[in-house]
Structure 1
């Protein structure tokens, strides 16, 4: 069965402290976080990769990442495709002065003509661990074929160096009932807080690791049209069409069911330059512990 890994990498030019965070090596062989996500997805059974990038970075992306991944994927029988996110690809007029991308929902819509099968969506610069990929692939290819998401534990997703944004999830009988995008969540001596409000560190959270059946794209496309009609006029320069918010809107309207697949894996990411040393230490431990081989893809080809 064909299943796709959709990687949102159009923001790969965003900088953190003088470097491009998505291209920061995390091991001694120069692999980046995206390499590990691709490894784990292929290992779990995903056999088609779609990179969502911007057209202006295509040549650099292929040179630094794409060509290398395509070589590995050919040996594994995995397809590689590219989709291009464009700020002008919208159901209306581009607001004057708008330079901010439209968000994760529009990013996935950039790949809609390439997706005909169940798919998983991830961020390019987050390390999710193996369990989420395995569980989502199993759910997508099961007889029920449900929409799903990996449910991380908040305490496993925080940075020591500043605030992060997470989707705090409310769950009933293993299904998502509500999701609230919460900004500036910080570690505290007591646990965590967001702008002075305490948050349970054992709360389930979304890390933008979603599993969808292909029919979700029709709902996403309609949601983007609604967003452009209702929200863009109120905030033409900064409004964003985000997957968690769209899913939340569908939940309120009983327009979707999303199964939450718990994972105890620890998230690693480089939100801040100061995160880099700890992230590298963490990957060194994973390699030393035999979770990965030093030559990352050797166990797949």
Structure 2
């Protein structure tokens, strides 16, 4: 399979815990957002297109901030997520203001991609190794019943500033996912990683592989997911906080036996912004990478061509 893959970026989140629009905030030494590093790595590993999933009311401002940087480097498209997207005219509670999460966002890309794709969060730094391995999988291995998830070690994905949610991965001998258990209240305490979900305390293994929402799919996954979304809405349409999440939908797919999901271990260092206090650490890490010449100080410096690898 020689089709150039697409990168889909989830950038429609409201960032309630962060207290601002972290998707478009400058973190890099040249004023870059975090997602620009992902796009840079995608371009130099051979991705041909990027699709941004955003809220439509921010489209004009978003395009003004990003498009001039990417012009001539990669094809750009947009998908818009709102609470009403794919609702089939269902009436939701007036108290519900947020859309239904990451899998719902990906569903909003239906019809936008016809080639294998990777999907990531806008506010996470994933690293070159992860994109390089994802591109290899997307161009050489992926099938309509074989997908992939980039696996990161839990110890490298937690925040010292509050609780986070992580998809805990269980694998078989073939490094394929047996289950993805979404852990929603993970904290750091006295050097230990603890899950507080359902009012129970459990110490977690620091080396456990977790999903950071970096998946590799074909468009068939979106088609399959659409029916699951309507099933989800039939049960959860009146819920105020319940979400339709990619790891949970992927877990359903595995359990039905309709597809396998391979875990691709990466030695890339992950970091991201969940809380406002994370911002200083992210800026420090990106500066270190620039000082080490892993990335240019200005990613889009016209005097520094992006070398395809």
Asked if residue 217 in structure 1 is aligned to residue 213 in structure 2, the reply is: no
Q: In the alignment, which residue of structure 2 is the partner of 1:119?
A: 117
- Which 5+ residue runs of structure 1 have no aligned equivalent? none
Larger mean CA deviation between 197-206 and 157-166 belongs to: 157-166
Describe how 1:195-214 pairs up with structure 2 within 5 A. Answer: 195=196, 196-214=201-219
TM-superposed CA distance for 1:293, in Å, is 1.1
Q: Distance in 2 between matches of 1:140 and 1:19?
A: 34
**Partner of 2:156 in structure 1?**
156
- Distance of 1:91 and 1:112 partners within structure 2: 15
State the number of aligned residues: 293
* Structure 1 length-normalised TM: 0.92
Q: What does 1:62-77 align with in structure 2 at a 5 Å threshold?
A: 62-65=63-66, 67-71=67-71, 74=72, 76=73
Name whichever of 26-35 and 110-119 sits farther off. Answer: 26-35
SS in 2 for 1:19: coil
- Aligned partners of 1:184 and 1:194 also within 8 Å: yes
* Mapping 1:18-167, distance limit 5 Å: 18-65=19-66, 67-71=67-71, 74=72, 76=73, 78-89=74-85, 90-97=87-94, 98-145=96-143, 146-167=146-167
Between the aligned partners of 1:143 and 1:244, the Cα distance in structure 2 is 21
Calculate the TM-score normalised by the size of structure 2.
Answer: 0.90
- The 1:268/1:18 distance shift into structure 2, 3 A limit, reads same
Q: Equivalent residue of 2:267, what SS?
A: coil
8 Å contact kept, 1:39–1:296: yes
Q: CA deviation at 1:18?
A: 5.0
The structural deviation recorded for 1:96 is: 2.9
C-alpha separation in 2, matches of 1:191 and 1:33: 28
Distance across 2 between alignment mates of 1:119 and 1:212: 6
Distance 1:248 1:16, change over 3 A: closer
Q: In the alignment, is the contact (CA less than 8 A) between 1:120 and 1:211 conserved in 2? A: yes
For 1:244 and 1:17, the matched residues in 2 are separated by 22
Distance 2:159 2:191 in 1: 15
SS of the equivalent of 2:140 reads coil
1:175-232, Cα deviation, whole Å (9 max, x unpaired): 0010011012112334200112100010000000000012111111111122122x22
Q: CA deviation at 1:237?
A: 2.8
